[in-house]
Structure 1
Amino acid sequence: MISVLFGKKFYFMNSLKTISKRLANHQAIAGLLLFLLVLAFFSWLEYAPTLADPDSFYHAKMTALISENGLVRDFPYLQFTTLKDGYIDHHLLYHLYLIPFVKIFPLPVGLKIGHSLLAALVLATLYWLLTKLKVRGAWGYTVFLLLVEPFIFRLSLVKAQPLSLIILLLGTYLIIRKKFLGLTLLSFIYVWSYGGWFLILIITAIYVLVESWDRAWLKIRADRLAKIINFKNKKTDLINRLYAWVISFIKNALNSQNFKLVTSVLLGLVLGLVINPYFPKNLEFYWIHIIKIALINYQGVIGVGAEWYPYNINDFFINNLLPFILALVALAVFLNYHQKFDVVVKYFLALFLAFVIATAKARRNVEYLAPLAVIFSALVFSRGWSLDEIRGDFQAFGRLFKKVFLNDWRAKVLFTLFSILTVTVIFYKMPYQAKKSLDNGFNYNYLKSASEYLLANSQPGDIVFQSDWDEFPILFYHNSRNYYIVGLDPTFMYLKNPDLYNKWADITRGQRAEDIYGIIKNDFRAKYVIATLDHKELIANLDNNFYFAKVYSDNEAVIYKVL
């Protein structure tokens, strides 16, 4: 029995090998099966009457407005922010993509169906990229990402991140293959799709730096070898070699191919900005969005979204344990045989390290970190296996492992049971943890009753003073007839009027009780105040002020009329 179970004729293992070979030989069928599997997986994750991120309500409303009235050019809904006069839809293609789904299905459901398809397409694109890079076991590496909880959670948020990931994955392939026209077109599309379009320029610059660095070192090593052969190598050559490396690096960075590479991306980005329904207003918006919010960020001054804050160091490594383990093993192999690997492997290593830094700064970048860790690892293991020296070391390690841990049938049984238990726990824990977080999001009907009261009792254009900036998307989703104070990001209000932002923040936190009537009525021109029940201090201050009449309350919020 034991010999059959663990011997060479083990039926289950042979079946897996047969399936793996057939998938490798029929990549189109494998890709379709993967897409359907992942689509079913994300459909299960999304199957709940909730949206985990308030911004998803904004995307739902924008999709509906564009579907009904065309492009949204004016945005009076945020009266005290830079968006009042400087709004652009920086996720335009994402919203246009969702329109057919919200026309066919009810709005929240259609939104999730369209988004699940896009999320599945991310994994299908990753599989396609791995096959193009000739990675062995591309299917398995792709499925591995479904076990990375922060990745699948972020990908499940109904936001434009999946579209951004698809574009960047395609971009890395076009960069490696130096497809200049394709890069120009893709860069143009990126500007219309996602506010973080500058990322494609960053990954292009990283490739140029890595390739130039690699070529410069290859030239220096070749020159040094020639001098050694000719007995001309001297210790004083160190400075000369460094100088030669710098010159070679600069020449490679500025060669015609790299110049075309960077220029093609820049051309696409410029065209995307200029040939744009929001030009030239989009230039000021992107200055705020990219420089002020993404790079500078005012998290030390004002309370921004949680995704802009860095990870706690323990959470950073624990939440991303699986991709980090995979990447660290791959890194150990790479460092030991770095001269054996080509510039493509080094490029993805550089991208992985760059996004480790970016994710440490802002946790929102984790959706890029995990797939880059997998791509780098897959390239190292796959290309390492094709090299005799590295494959020999892999096989020697395998023999040593068997000798130490699988030396008799008892050890094999224990190892098999441990492996099955570990894999089962991981397969269960990670997806269900993401599912639980998604299910605990905001119900579709959150603040709907309060919004319906405002719709029935207020006038179009009446300003509603809301208790938090991230309540705006939900209020906007249910009621776009009224206007609000701040939303999408508090930086937009802070940059418009820091003094007014501080007044709003102090009042909503309950830190200011004096003269709140004068500020809300005169400075903010508000007709109503809506406070969710977690703002107890604000509610107490409003209850104690007879200039505010409580006109509505439920188990979610309280509404006051400003007298």
Structure 2
Amino acid sequence: MRARERIASALGWLFDGGPDVPPAAAGQRAARDALYPAFAFLAGLLALGAVQAEKAELVDIDAYYHVAASRILAEHGVLTEFPWTRESVWRERYADKEFLFHALLVPFLGTQGRPGPKALTVLLGALGLALFAQLLRRREVPWPWLWPVLALCAGPWFLLRLSITRPHLLSILLCLGIVACLAGRRRAILLLLSALFPWCYTAFHLPLFLAILFVLALLLSGQGWSWREPALAAAGTLLGALLHPQAGNLLSLWWVQNVQNPAFALAQSSVSLNQALELRSPTGRMLLWENGAVLLTALGAALFALLRGARARADTVFWLLLSGGFFLLYLNNRRFVEYWPFFALGAGALLLRDAGARELLLAWAARHRLRAAVAAGISLLLLAFLLSGSVMLGQRLMGTLRVPALREEARWLAERASPGELVFTGNWDDTPYLLYYAPTLRVLVTLDPTFMVSRDANAYRTWRELVEAGRGDPDEIVRGRFGARWVLLRRAPYTRALRDRLDGDERFRRRFAGAEADVYEVGEPIPAP
């Protein structure tokens, strides 16, 4: 019996943060508290499932790559080279930056067009909401069921980001878990989750970033500073990177994507990387209207705490720093909308806890029962209105999203091109569809054009100048420089210069006009010397 008690005590220390944290509630309270994450999970399933159901196919460019990468992992195992990309650093130095996400996708693959990857996406999004509810419940915030529902009111772009099949869904789960470990001093679990990050997401420096904010929160709260949490986050991240099956290549690719990419974008503004819309700043409508429920809730909670003269606890200061940090990232890059609402709402909930909002409301309700009932009814109706409006806007955005999946063109090429042949495309974002629908063919680069810039910046510049300006001899570049016989060009404004040149060049023949793009053929590729 004593051994069993010691094991239980050790597990409690690991998961509950040591003797200074009260033990989890038992009996009826534990069963009741379990309803909060269960409710959040169910709400997430219904809301995100409704948004996801608006489109039968995948709706994001990178999602096609991730499903294709998962299929490659299932069929070929762990690779250190990626022959599918001829002009990318991946060709010689490949590392699967999202290894665990792709492995998790494998059981959901099925055949093309099956909803398996979309089902996994809904599950991961709902798990994020459930974890959010669980974290706030453990922090004893008022009304733990409310905050996941308000997160679903964060607007259509937030719901869309939770509805696309990409590894940031695992990153959200890991970030929430690491924040819980930092606030609860669960150092063993912090080490483990930090080690998982390099296996799940390209920005695996995030655990250290979160740990530094935690130490800053301690300093601002007058609790001194602790070196253990940043050290454990850094050690866990380094350990995870070193244990990765493609460790050497992983660190190299992290440098390319997280350092060289922004550096090139700043230094070479004349050469476009043609990166996705998600990397732009949010519009005023997104901030003030679509994210209005989150902004008003967070600002209202802050104002209430200020008027009450509440002293923020260390965990509240931590969540405030997280909210501010991710909000600044969101202002620069709209993709961070998937992180910011969680931390903004969490900070608001903790401020209300510190200000004693629940006790004040209960005392007022005891004195004015009829008014309290009316106020509760109006509040629930308003919440239902906000939630339904957010979900409907998310459905509308999902339904109107037009992704040129190039299915016809890719399948036509797969039937006629020899296995291993290179397809010269107009842009990097055409290639995920080829990997998905025509996996026997090869492309120049995929997922991020920086991987081509890093391998050969001159080749990248030659490619962009030919496509966007029609500069250079098409035959010499397509056949001679890149060794391609097939050219796939979307009917987009940026390809017009090259399409006009190919249409007037007798060496090129338009072989297929698909729904989204044209396929040209030139003579046999010139063999490399």
TM-score normalised by length of structure 2: 0.84
Matched with 1:310 is 281
Going from structure 1 to structure 2, the CA distance change for 1:314 and 1:474 (only over 3 Å counts) comes to same
Matched with 2:476 is 518
Is the 8 Å Cα contact of residues 91 and 195 (structure 1) preserved in structure 2?
A: yes
Matched with 1:481 is 440
User: What do the CA deviations read for 1:117-146 (whole angstroms, capped 9, x no partner)?
Assistant: 111100010011011111121111111111
In 1, Cα distance between equivalents of 2:320 and 2:244: 35
Matched with 1:546 is 506
Matched with 2:333 is 362
Going from structure 1 to structure 2, the CA distance change for 1:44 and 1:72 (only over 3 Å counts) comes to farther
- The answer to whether 1:465 aligns with 2:424 is yes
Going from structure 1 to structure 2, the CA distance change for 1:392 and 1:95 (only over 3 Å counts) comes to closer
In 2, Cα distance between equivalents of 1:165 and 1:521: 44
Going from structure 1 to structure 2, the CA distance change for 1:542 and 1:289 (only over 3 Å counts) comes to same
- The answer to whether 1:438 aligns with 2:398 is yes
Matched with 2:215 is 208
Instruction: Tell me the CA shift for residue 264 of structure 1.
Output: 1.2
**Pick aligned residue for 1:172 from 172, 179, 193:** 179
Give the letter aligned to residue 256 of structure 2: I
- The answer to whether 1:383 aligns with 2:354 is yes
Instruction: Tell me the CA shift for residue 111 of structure 1.
Output: 0.7
Matched with 2:254 is 286
- The answer to whether 1:136 aligns with 2:104 is no
Instruction: Tell me the CA shift for residue 425 of structure 1.
Output: 4.9
Instruction: Tell me the CA shift for residue 344 of structure 1.
Output: 0.8
Matched with 2:244 is 276
Matched with 1:41 is 47
User: What do the CA deviations read for 1:231-290 (whole angstroms, capped 9, x no partner)?
Assistant: xxxxxxxxxxxxxxxxxxxxx33xxxx222111111111111111100211111111122
- The answer to whether 1:189 aligns with 2:196 is yes
Matched with 2:232 is 264
Instruction: Tell me the CA shift for residue 296 of structure 1.
Output: 7.1
In 2, Cα distance between equivalents of 1:311 and 1:536: 29
Instruction: Tell me the CA shift for residue 419 of structure 1.
Output: 7.1
User: What do the CA deviations read for 1:514-562 (whole angstroms, capped 9, x no partner)?
Assistant: 5122111111111110112224443222111111111111222211111
What's the secondary structure of 2:347's corresponding residue? helix
Going from structure 1 to structure 2, the CA distance change for 1:171 and 1:267 (only over 3 Å counts) comes to same
What's the secondary structure of 2:236's corresponding residue? helix
In 2, Cα distance between equivalents of 1:542 and 1:456: 23
In 2, Cα distance between equivalents of 1:266 and 1:394: 46
Is the 8 Å Cα contact of residues 51 and 442 (structure 1) preserved in structure 2?
A: no
Going from structure 1 to structure 2, the CA distance change for 1:271 and 1:118 (only over 3 Å counts) comes to same
- 5+ residue gaps, structure 2: 1-27, 524-529
User: What do the CA deviations read for 1:190-242 (whole angstroms, capped 9, x no partner)?
Assistant: 111111221111011011012023217xxxxxxxxxxxxxxxxxxxxxxxxxx
Give the letter aligned to residue 75 of structure 1: F
- 5+ residue gaps, structure 1: 1-21, 217-251, 407-411
Instruction: Tell me the CA shift for residue 426 of structure 1.
Output: 2.9
What's the secondary structure of 1:71's corresponding residue? coil
Give the letter aligned to residue 280 of structure 1: G
- The answer to whether 1:353 aligns with 2:321 is no
User: What do the CA deviations read for 1:343-389 (whole angstroms, capped 9, x no partner)?
Assistant: 1111111111111111111111111111111101111113312697x
The structure whose Rg is larger is 1
Matched with 2:407 is 448
Going from structure 1 to structure 2, the CA distance change for 1:213 and 1:29 (only over 3 Å counts) comes to closer
Going from structure 1 to structure 2, the CA distance change for 1:394 and 1:90 (only over 3 Å counts) comes to farther
Mapping 1:286-435, distance limit 5 Å: 286-293=254-261, 297-298=265-266, 300=269, 301-302=271-272, 303-336=274-307, 340-385=311-356, 391=360, 425-435=385-395
In 1, Cα distance between equivalents of 2:451 and 2:324: 31
Matched with 2:451 is 492
What's the secondary structure of 1:356's corresponding residue? helix
What's the secondary structure of 1:340's corresponding residue? coil
In 1, Cα distance between equivalents of 2:318 and 2:95: 34
Going from structure 1 to structure 2, the CA distance change for 1:526 and 1:38 (only over 3 Å counts) comes to same
Is the 8 Å Cα contact of residues 513 and 541 (structure 1) preserved in structure 2?
A: no
What's the secondary structure of 1:86's corresponding residue? coil
- The answer to whether 1:67 aligns with 2:74 is yes
- The answer to whether 1:562 aligns with 2:522 is yes
Matched with 2:89 is 82
Instruction: Tell me the CA shift for residue 503 of structure 1.
Output: 2.1
Q: Cα RMSD (Å) of the superposition?
A: 2.9
Is the 8 Å Cα contact of residues 465 and 485 (structure 1) preserved in structure 2?
A: yes
In 1, Cα distance between equivalents of 2:363 and 2:311: 15
In 1, Cα distance between equivalents of 2:139 and 2:109: 37
Mapping 1:197-236, distance limit 5 Å: 197-215=204-222
In 2, Cα distance between equivalents of 1:143 and 1:422: 12
Instruction: Tell me the CA shift for residue 32 of structure 1.
Output: 2.2
Is the 8 Å Cα contact of residues 327 and 373 (structure 1) preserved in structure 2?
A: yes
Give the letter aligned to residue 477 of structure 1: Y
Going from structure 1 to structure 2, the CA distance change for 1:192 and 1:338 (only over 3 Å counts) comes to farther
Going from structure 1 to structure 2, the CA distance change for 1:543 and 1:392 (only over 3 Å counts) comes to closer
Going from structure 1 to structure 2, the CA distance change for 1:424 and 1:271 (only over 3 Å counts) comes to closer
Instruction: Tell me the CA shift for residue 421 of structure 1.
Output: 7.9
Going from structure 1 to structure 2, the CA distance change for 1:536 and 1:421 (only over 3 Å counts) comes to farther
Name whichever of 313-322 and 22-31 sits farther off: 22-31
Give the letter aligned to residue 119 of structure 2: I
Is the 8 Å Cα contact of residues 217 and 315 (structure 2) preserved in structure 1?
A: no
Matched with 1:245 is none
| Greater helix content | 1
Give the letter aligned to residue 128 of structure 1: Q
User: What do the CA deviations read for 1:400-452 (whole angstroms, capped 9, x no partner)?
Assistant: xx8xxx9xxxxx8xx99997886565333321221122233457x93222222
What's the secondary structure of 1:529's corresponding residue? strand
In 1, Cα distance between equivalents of 2:131 and 2:79: 31
In 2, Cα distance between equivalents of 1:64 and 1:54: 16
Mapping 1:110-149, distance limit 5 Å: 110-149=116-155
TM-score normalised by length of structure 1: 0.80
